[in-house]
A and B are shown apart, each in its own frame.
Chain A
């Protein structure tokens, strides 16, 4: 049967990956507080942003879309790094690897589960922003959801990777200011990238969050999907895949 053959040749098992995703979602749904925070925090931050800029509508229109590429990265990074770290430290990851589970099964299972949460989060914050908060963008509104999803995937991948190097939850959280905040500072939100020092703007170019913010800017200022938006989205996706593969290799038997 060709279907069976294909399943054997894949570097992961769809059944185990699916079961892992379901299990991760079950775990998260048990923790009602975390789920609520995960979904509500980006919305809350958007409201805060709106209140901050209630006098200058133009600033809100500029910054509002950009944070869609930033907040999901941070929120997902935290959730993903802590929950995969827990998996590693309680010995369940090691147990899984003594079974016919492949590393990609675990990494993809986690990615699927968190991508589902990221989707919920993106839909919620987009609806809130373009609805009650009155955020106006030139492009179609679903582009904001795409950016939020990409940002969440990026945060998730970084979180998975970091959990390999952190010994405990405390260190994983400490990696946030080390790895994510620099991206946040140079991504173009505070100072346009072409006004930065040459070296700094080169650094910004190497950071994936920059492209999420740039894509958000594209969506806000152009009608329709621009070539730059597509390029940025693909760049981020490529980055996510790279980081996921890197974190799969850190899962050792």
Chain B
């Protein structure tokens, strides 16, 4: 962007081009299962080429949110746009990789057999298939176990096989549901190195975790609690805004602020029988959609 006489001009590679679209944009996403509201009006964006951490306690709706992005979740309301298409569109099938929480590979096949089959399922054939298999085996460092049955692998190796499957088609967006849960610190570190390398190569990563210290490795954070998005911002902004020293503290601060805001709204509604008005988006003028910062409750000290 270039500035001339106070008017913001956009250069030719502007927001209208698909290259500038955010990798994921969700608007008013709502998922109701039975009488339970799993996701409540969740809106967020994931800019391209960065690592976005989806953080929140277990059972807060992280998996449902990720499933909505991949397009395997039935949503009640709202819209999710992925790489310019509606989530789950046929065009996205080879461009989005999804790593489920429990590693979904065949335990009774070897690593190579798994990778070959999933490569075929992605529509690859012949030397392209073999190429992709060899590449991902190297990428996640599984060469020495390639001929072992997946059932005989350790937990870390097991989930790396699942990750390898998601990398077969060099996806533009990689959605991962707690990929590092239950792994020892060494393996976690190695996995994060892989994630960082992928991001450097231009892949967008959306990673959920309930371990707050993994936030330090993300470019941007989405904080969630009981089906609501508490905040969507980069780490620095989050810490600055809440005046906290680490993400865990910031999270607790936001939880407190959100319940305070709810309480105030409820009291106001009871007094005046008016609709509760939660403070919404912080309007940031000309900032592009993808870099906009969002806080559910105004928590500035």
Contact = CB atoms under 8 A, between A and B. Distances in A.
B108 A30 contact: yes
Main secondary structure of the interface of A (DSSP, over half): helix
Contacts of A91: 100, 102, 104
Interface in A84-107: 90-92, 94-101, 105
A13 B123 CA distance: 9
- Which of B98, B107, B117: most chain A Cβ within 10 A? B117
Interface stretch (B48-56, B87-95, B204-212, B273-281): B87-95
Main secondary structure of the interface of B (DSSP, over half): loop
Contacts of B88: 98, 253
Interface residues of A, number: 24
Contacts of A226: none
Given A96-B121, A98-B96, A101-B121, A27 B72 contact: no
Contacts of B250: none
A23 B98 contact: no
Given A253-B72, A253-B88, A99 B122 contact: yes
B72 A94 contact: yes
A98 B93 contact: yes
Interface in A68-127: 90-92, 94-101, 105
A19 B120 contact: yes
Contacts of A92: 104-106
A15 interface: yes
Nearest to A96: B121
Nearest to B92: A98
B123 A27 contact: no
Contact of A30 (B116, B120, B149): B149
A26 interface: yes
Q: Give the size category of B's interface with A.
A: 20 to 34
Interface in A25-63: 26-27, 30-31
Contacts of B125: 15
Nearest to B125: A15
A180 interface: no
Contact of B94 (A13, A20, A97, A99): A99
A95 B104 contact: yes
Nearest to B70: A98
B113 interface: yes
B109 A23 contact: yes
A22 B121 CA distance: 12
Contact of A95 (B90, B100, B109, B123): B100
B218 interface: no
Contacts of B117: 19-20, 22-23
Given A15-B120, A94-B100, A100 B108 contact: no
Interface in B43-96: 70-72, 88, 90, 93-94, 96
B104 A16 contact: no
A134 B146 CA distance: 50
B192 interface: no
- Listed from nearest, the 5 A-B pairs whose CB atoms lie closest are A19-B120, A91-B104, A100-B93, A23-B117, A95-B104
